[in-house]
Amino acid sequence: MKQKFLAFKKRVLTFFHKAGRNFLYFLIAFTTIFVIMTAIIIQVIQAGVYRTTDADLMMRKDNSVELSLIGTNSLGYENSNKLPSDDLNQSIIEKNPLPENSNSYHQLKNAGFYVILFDENGLILNTEIDPMASLMQENELEMDISALETVTSQNVENQAFRTVISKVEKENQITINGTKIAYIQIFQNVNQIRDSLSTIMTEIIITMLVFWILSLFFAIGLSRLSIHPLELALERQKAFVSNASHELRTPLAIMQNRLQLLFQHPDATILEESEHISASLNEVRNMRVLTKNLLNMAKSDGSVRIQPVETDISFFEEVFDNFKILSKEKNKRFTSQIQLKGKLNLDQELIKQILVIFYDNAVKYTDDKGEISIRVQKQRNDLLLIISDNGIGVSAADKKKIFDRFYRVDEVRTRGKGGLGLGLSLVQEIVYAMRGKIFVEDNQPKGTKFIVKLKI
């Protein structure tokens, strides 16, 4: 269990190490977007939920006479009429007829609506009537006229209110027990809205968090996708450079040695030192092959250009005649078979390159008296190139890898044969560029068989 955890931790760490900067950018970008989005949504909702309540308060606040009557419980069927009906009060009431749908104090109280009446100095005049007024007194809240005529939020004993305070015009100031009502503050309880708002907020924040986490996963995926090809390219390049320099080092070292030996006998003739000279020449030849391969590889990188020309059997005959001569020199047996009629459109240079690489390999990986055969054959809409040898063969596991750059089955055994492990990967690139396919099979009874299938 602990090992599993450690392995997981290591994977996570290497991921962060590799994805590093990309991931950090994604993380910052996504987090910023989500935080801003959440803030905007919350802002919009908050502004929206109190809109109706606020509009209602703003509409009511100006009707000071109605509010004075409500605040003194002088309205409605339970008309206890706390208001002294002196002449002045009566004339004010007459001048300001009540709206038709005016509610009684009790009805409003049940709906969480409260009215507090203040005198000029902020003293509450309706403490005995309005529970809100007594609440305010208990909490030692004083009249606050800093935000006159503006709806604000206020919390009293964990109750949420929207409230507005307004000044009563002089001529409409009703008198209670000889004191004039100078300011009226109205409250609307918004506990329910607040509670549902907090539920909505929690839901929004949870949703946002979930999407944020999801987006992080996407970010991880994306950053992985975006760095993977770069990583591969970098690895290939590194391998290319290190292999190439390694391969060049051996012939250079040999040459250096041999040339230094020549200096030990400054008077010797060329003939006497021919062994060293020819060995150096050999290495030069090796290096030429190597550099040619490297150059081909670099040139073909990603962009093999195909230039087909009309081709007939004579092109193949010429190539195979050369192979025959070379094989004799190298003590191999070469046979060829060409089953073609008429003309084909082929890129001769690329086809020759493919055949040379396969032929070279067949020569390299067969023993003395090795047998190499190449068959060229048209099969429906395909051109088949089949190269077989009776050499050392390729194991099942290696069949998948030999087309990789720099892959060689047995480094020790194949070193010195002049290969870099580039030949087959070059073949593969050319064949893919021609929209063809390559197969590798065991040759019977021994050796390897490569089949190239090209569309014509």
Interface residues with ligand ADP (CB under 6 A) are: 357, 361-362, 364-365, 389, 391-394, 402, 407-409, 414, 419-425, 448
- Say whether 286 sits in a helix, a strand or coil: helix
Residue nearest to ligand ADP (CB): 419
As a whole number of angstroms, the distance between CA 71 and CA 67 comes to: 6
Pick the closest to residue 425 from 302, 289, 305 (CA basis).
302
Indicate if the alpha-carbon torsion angle 231, 233, 234, 239 is positive or negative: positive
Q: Which residues contact 132 (CB under 8 A, 6 or more apart)?
A: 114, 115, 116, 156, 187
Cβ closer to ligand ADP: 119 or 442? 442
Name the pairing type of β-strands 371-379 and 333-339: parallel
Cβ closer to ligand ADP: 179 or 282? 282
Cβ closer to ligand ADP: 316 or 358? 358
Q: At what angle do helices 274-300 and 423-433 cross, to 10 degrees?
A: 30
Cβ closer to ligand ADP: 168 or 350? 350
For the bound state, the minimum distance from the C-beta of residue 385 to ligand ADP, rounded and expressed in Å, comes to 14
Cβ closer to ligand ADP: 392 or 454? 392
Cβ closer to ligand ADP: 15 or 407? 407
For the bound state, the minimum distance from the C-beta of residue 420 to ligand ADP, rounded and expressed in Å, comes to 5
For the bound state, the minimum distance from the C-beta of residue 439 to ligand ADP, rounded and expressed in Å, comes to 13
Two structure tokens written together for 20: 């590093």
For the bound state, the minimum distance from the C-beta of residue 287 to ligand ADP, rounded and expressed in Å, comes to 14
Cβ closer to ligand ADP: 188 or 293? 293
For the bound state, the minimum distance from the C-beta of residue 362 to ligand ADP, rounded and expressed in Å, comes to 5
For the bound state, the minimum distance from the C-beta of residue 441 to ligand ADP, rounded and expressed in Å, comes to 11
Q: Which residues contact 224 (CB under 8 A, 6 or more apart)?
A: 15, 19
Q: For 267, which DSSP code? A: T
Q: How far is CA 344 from CA 339, 412, 432, 456, in A?
A: 12, 42, 19, 7
For the bound state, the minimum distance from the C-beta of residue 349 to ligand ADP, rounded and expressed in Å, comes to 18
- Say whether 71 sits in a helix, a strand or coil: helix
